[in-house]
Amino acid sequence: MADPAVLPDAEFPAVRRVTWGFIALYTSAYMGTVLMLLAPVLVTLALKINALVGSEEAPNSLALVAGIGSLLAMVSNPFFGKLSDRTSAAMGMRRPWMLIGLAGGCLGILLVALAPNVGLVLVGWCIAQLFFNALLAVQVAVLPDQVPAAQRGLVSGVLGVCLPIASVSGTFLVQLFSGSRLAMFLAPCVFGGFFILLFAIRLDDRRLAAASKPAWSLREFAGTFYVSPRQNPDFAWVFASRFLFVLAYAFLTTYQAYFLLSNVGSTEAAVPRQIFLGTLAQSTAVVAASLLGGRLSDRTGRRKVFVVTAAIGYGLAMFLVAAASDFNAFLVGVAVGGLGFGMYAAVDLALVVDVLPDEDHAKNLGVLNVANALPYSVAPAVAPVVLAVGGGSYGVLYTVAGICALMGAAAILPVKRAR
């Protein structure tokens, strides 16, 4: 029998156990979306802007483009999630938005690749963020749609490996086409788009009868971006935990190059390779912890203990990084952090689905995505203050990151609807 927290409407079929074939298709499509979003962020967007304005102006221009894009991501994810929840198309609730999101996002990337100035780069990146986040919103909603509670830890654990694998494979794929800037931008779209289309075609999508579609109003629209903490305290707590945890991660990824230069004493020439090695070590740990954590969570029927343990582990890892005085110590710190990040990413998603309000799953998961996107705007705003107070020490900044992760662990403790 279906979990009533997952499928409140009798018109939807009961959720059955999913096969490994479904999991493979779902994971490939989700990874394709992450790949299309990450490849420009990690490599091509910065190179494009640098080619247009030069190395002196590139950092400020990149911050402008990335910052506005992040704001659009925060808005578009819950908005398109809400539209998906009330879509009564014959082809299903989620499939139309997968196709629209893929087409619109790729169009935005093409515009970025061909843009002759930063203004058009900004327009293209905003289009890409808008539609790729629509695609991401409906893909995440497939988890409560299609996967029963007993398998959510496993499936979310498999999804948890998508970020590190996409990070490594995205940079590798771009390097294969380094001779053509257009191909560097479009290759991830072709590669990721293939798996997204395959999943969209094969998906046995939910369908909503037109008569069951809720009325649209200004109040309904405003509610797209809000979940009442008073009515849904568990959701509010997991939102707070996710925000604090991702904020700690944002501090690490945004300022690790400066940490290596300042605290470790690395040369500028050595930093790119060191960051790659750190990413590889962290990604390996993330994959192992995601798969193990998700499976153990399903077997024990518990979520909170794994999420709390993972956040504490990540906080301690940030303390290790903060104290590192050579690259080997830094590498150990980020690898330990990968274990905490992997387990958190796997089990926290399952925990979130378990405590979702009883309707509008895609919209609510879109609201949760604000906790994923907002820290990347908050971290650059807060870091200068922390550095000023800490005398310019990036070790102090990573100590603050560790405290944020520990606070993220504490925020899970009041959750009542999950064990």
Query: What tens digit of pLDDT does each residue of 213-268 get?
Result: 666 655 665 555 666 777 778 888 988 999 999 999 888 877 777 788 888 888 86
Asked if 166 and 47 sit in the same domain, the reply is: yes
Asked if 254 and 207 sit in the same domain, the reply is: no
Q: What are phi and psi of 263, to 5 degrees?
A: -90, -35
Count CB atoms within 10 A of the CB of residue 419.
13
Structural domain ending residue among the three candidates 189, 205, 225:
225
| Structural domains counted in the chain | 2
CATH code for the domain in which residue 290 is found:
1.20.1250.20
Residue 258 forms part of a structural domain: yes
Report yes or no: 320 and 268 within 8 Å, Cβ to Cβ: no
Q: Pick the residue with more confidence: 254 or 30?
A: 30
Asked if 200 and 274 sit in the same domain, the reply is: no
pLDDT tier at 121, thresholds 50, 70, 90: very high
Residue 15 forms part of a structural domain: no
Asked if 133 and 199 sit in the same domain, the reply is: yes
d(CA 387, CA 216) in angstroms, rounded, equals: 47
Query: What tens digit of pLDDT does each residue of 143-161 get?
Result: 888 888 788 878 877 887 7
With helix as H, strand as E and coil as C, how does the chain read? Answer: CCCCCCCCCCCCCCCCCCCHHHHHHHHHHHHHHHHHHHHHHHHHHHHHHHHHHCCCCHHHHHHHHHHHHHHHHHHHHHHHHHHHHCCCCCCCCCHHHHHHHHHHHHHHHHHHHHCCCHHHHHHHHHHHHHHHHHHHHHHHHHHHHHCCHHHHHHHHHHHHCHHHHHHHHHHHHHHHCCCCHHHHHHHHHHHHHHHHHHHHHHCCCCCCCHHHCCCCCHHHHHHHHCCCCCCCHHHHHHHHHHHHHHHHHHHHHHHHHHHHHHHHCCCCCCHHHHHHHHHHHHHHHHHHHHHHHHHHHHHHCCCHHHHHHHHHHHHHHHHHHHHCCCHHHHHHHHHHHHHHHHHHHHHHHHHHHHCCCCCCHHHHHHHHHHHHHCHHHHHHHHHHHHHHHCCCCHHHHHHHHHHHHHHHHHHHCCCCCCC
Asked if 306 and 247 sit in the same domain, the reply is: yes
Asked if 398 and 345 sit in the same domain, the reply is: yes
- Does residue 17 have a pLDDT over 50? yes
How far from each other are the two terminal CA atoms of the chain, in whole angstroms? 21
Structural domain ending residue among the three candidates 166, 199, 225:
225
Lowest model confidence (mean pLDDT) among 102-106, 138-142, 354-358, 380-384: 354-358
Asked if 306 and 407 sit in the same domain, the reply is: yes
pLDDT of residue 78: 78
Query: What tens digit of pLDDT does each residue of 192-222 get?
Result: 999 999 999 999 888 877 666 666 655 665 5
Query: What tens digit of pLDDT does each residue of 157-186 get?
Result: 788 778 778 877 877 787 788 778 899 899
Residue range(s) defining the domain that contains residue 45:
20-225
pLDDT of residue 9: 39
Query: What is the pLDDT of the chain when averaged over all its residues?
Result: 83
Structural domain ending residue among the three candidates 189, 204, 225:
225
Residue 11 forms part of a structural domain: no
Asked if 106 and 252 sit in the same domain, the reply is: no
pLDDT tier at 119, thresholds 50, 70, 90: very high
Length of the chain as a residue count: 419
Asked if 195 and 148 sit in the same domain, the reply is: yes
pLDDT of residue 2: 31
- Does residue 127 have a pLDDT over 90? yes
Residue 287 forms part of a structural domain: yes
pLDDT tier at 401, thresholds 50, 70, 90: very high
pLDDT of residue 12: 45
- Does residue 406 have a pLDDT over 90? yes
Residue 164 forms part of a structural domain: yes
- Does residue 6 have a pLDDT over 50? no
